[in-house]
Structure 1
Amino acid sequence: MDKSEQKREKVSSHKSKPNISPSEEEIIYSALGSPIRREILLFIKERKKVGFVELRDQFGLKVGSLYHQLNSMEKLLTQDENKKYFPTELGELACELLVINKDHLAASQATSAKRDKKLHPFLEKVINLLSFFFLPRPVFEYFSSEPIRTFFEGLIIIGAMLFFSIDGRRVLIGFFPFEVNEWYYSLIGVLGLWVGLFLLSDFLKTIFYHQKFGSFKLFAVIPFTMIPNVIVLFCLWLQDKLTTIFLVLDAQLLIIFGQIWALSLMVTAVSKTEKLTMKRASLIVLFSFYVIYLVSFVIVGTS
């Protein structure tokens, strides 16, 4: 066998790079920039399917830390009906790339480490706190795991919202308070927001992403995304009771803050209950919110 034949044999025996697009490759390198995530992915690949508790025991991570690592690989991992993790098609390709492109991953790790070192510990804590406040993924992961109990707990939030709305004679439309004279307007406003958000979000994810319609998990967790509404109504109600200027924030700032918080909570809820990426969940939620707001403003304007 001459040298050219030996070279061809060597090349043919070498494992070729998987056929993936540049965007998919970028997703993989970004998700696997951390060595612990690479170990988790390979462990799941080896075991086929792995539960959360087994991963926690295997790697000795705290619950919040493990959720963070898994959420960082949300496009590489998915879950079955028993909540066990297994690789997606992209995750399978990522396992192949782990073997082929070790140098690229090492460079990604070094870049990630440099970026992390730039953050002051206090600043990092603040960022983590804000992330948990606006995007509480572990919380909605927990809520969606027991939808029946979550539904009845959510009724407490709905009840509180109804109380402050009826007693304060206000309804919130896009976080703008409107005074009403009859109690049933509050009932329609609160329940309409709950049911409307559910129906629109569920319908859109069924149409766009071909998922099953009628997700009780999503219906059960939506009241928890309405906590900002309850807080705003409570502040307005308390201001009336104290007959003084209770609100420190400007009304417009309060409206903006409430909208951002409610949107982020709803995006997280849709993402975790329906197993969608945050980008896809954002599109669904933004469309749903502003359709409801538009319809509500039209109804109020014509009444």
Structure 2
Amino acid sequence: MKERKGDSPPQGSSASELDDLYNILGNPHRRRIILFLGEVGEAGFTELRRHLSMSVGTLYYNLDNLRGLVVQKPNRKYTLSERGRRVYEIISKEIKRIEEMYREPHCLVRIYSKYIGRFVTPVDAFSRMYRNAPLTTALGLATLAAGALGLIVSGLDMTLLDFEPCPSGALWMPRPLWLITKLLASWLAITAISMVLAKLFGARLERIELVSAIMIAMAPVLTYPYVYYLLTSQNLLTGALVLLSNLLLRLLQMVTVGFLTASISVFGGISLERAFFIAFIIIYLSFTLSFLI
């Protein structure tokens, strides 16, 4: 079955390739032929029949129906044409994707997804906000107000997602205003980093509510100043409680990473994996800046 001029349509014919896909996906024999030749490169008729366990008539019939995708070389071995190779790549990718979708997850993954993931990475909650812009804006403003109040009463200075006591020296603006400014700067910096990296990942960023969603995602870590204030106001931040306080801060930061992942994924329209990468960059920058400053 040699490839002849006119056997295959022009390479740019996407409609023809779509017909090829339907033709192959709907027939297990043709699908197996394409996949086998795609893996081994070329094979003779006897080798094809032996590996695919097909009768002579069935194999001839399906090879004839794959004309233009499967060609016979001068050595009488069968191989994929250029168009057949493209079809093979599409089919193999789709098969892997489908297998991944239906693969039974590990029991620990199931437990995490069912009992922990919905709270640590609340995609459903941010999806509801995505469909309700006024709610997202209101929650964002409420989180901003609560965060500003917590920083003022605790005296903590915020740098992205990390805190440190506000410098005791003279500031060039009133201390409460300084703390609020640092909160706003951290919020805008996190939003800018998220938007730039999400754009690099192909996000369209059509929803301005992403700005509010980022502030909402910062809510877990913004609860820490209140804990810090309670401990310091009662003179309890000593000994083991210092260690526990630091551990609590790290835990809240990790939860915030999960919230950021969900918000960036939903409002940026990118995968959770890419959104997590962005959130990881943000927390890494937080630790780095706190160390340098």
Pair 1:239–1:4, CA change in 2 (3 A): closer
Partner of 1:267 in structure 2? 261
1:195 aligns with 2:195: no
Which of the numbers 278, 282, 285 marks the counterpart of 1:284?
278
Report the TM-score when normalising by structure 2.
0.61
TM-score, length-scaled by structure 1: 0.59
Partner of 1:44: none
**1:38-49 superposed matches below 5 A:** none
Q: Which whole-Å deviations, capped at 9, do the CAs of 1:41-62 have from their partners, x for residues lacking one?
A: xxxxxxxxxxxxxxxxxxxxxx
Distance 2:93 2:57 in 1: 36
Structure 1 residues 260 and 6: alpha-carbon distance in aligned structure 2, compared to 1, 3 A threshold: closer
Counterpart residue number, 1:154 = 140
Aligned to 2:22: none
In the alignment, what sits opposite 1:45? none
Q: Distance in 2 between matches of 1:125 and 1:5?
A: 51
* Residue of structure 1 equivalent to 2:245: 251
The unaligned stretches of length 5 or more in structure 1 are 34-107
- In structure 2, the residue matched to 1:205 is 198
Per the TM alignment, residue 236 of structure 1 is displaced from its structure 2 partner at its CA by 0.8
Is 1:19–2:59 an aligned residue pair? no
Which has the higher Rg, Structure 1 or Structure 2? Answer: 2
CA gap 1:26/1:124 in 2 versus in 1, 3 angstroms: closer
Correspondence for 2:162 among 175, 180, 186: 175
CA contact (8 A) 2:214 2:260 kept: yes
The letter for the 1-side match of 2:144 is: I
Partner SS state of residue 89, structure 2: coil
Q: Please state if 1:228 is matched with 2:193.
A: no
Task: Note the 1:52-63 alignment, pairs <5 A.
Answer: none
Contact 2:154–2:228 (8 Å) recurs in 1: yes
Is residue 205–residue 284 contact of structure 1 (8 Å, CA) maintained in 2? yes
2:162 touches 2:287 (CA, 8 Å); kept in 1? no
- Give distance in 2, aligned partners of 1:271 and 1:12: 46
Give the conservation status (yes or no) of the 8 Å contact 1:197–1:288: yes
How far does residue 171 in structure 1 lie from its aligned partner after superposition? 2.0
Amino acid at match of 2:198: K
> Deviations along 1:139-173, whole A, 9 cap, x unmatched?
01111112232112211111111111112211233
Q: Are the equivalent residues in 1 in contact too, given 2:231–2:237 (CA < 8 A)?
A: yes
Distance 1:145 1:167 in 2: 34
- Number of residue equivalences: 212
Instruction: Give 3-state SS (helix, strand or coil) of 1:160's partner.
Output: helix
- Greater fraction helix: 1
Q: Secondary structure at the match of 1:212?
A: coil
2:126 match: 140
Quickly say closer, same or farther: Cα 1:126–1:24, change in 2 above 3 A: closer
- Kept in 2, the 8 Å contact 1:263–1:285? The answer is yes
- Give identity over the alignment, percent: 17
Amino acid in the other structure paired with 2:61: E
Deviation at 1:26, TM superposition (A): 2.6
Q: Give me the whole-angstrom Cα distance separating, in 1, the residues matched to 2:176 and 2:91.
A: 56
CA RMSD of aligned residues (A): 3.3
Return closer, same or farther for 1:124/1:288 CA change in 2, 3 Å cut-off. closer
1:131 aligns with 2:183: no
Q: Unaligned stretches of 5+ in structure 2?
A: 1-54, 70-83, 169-174
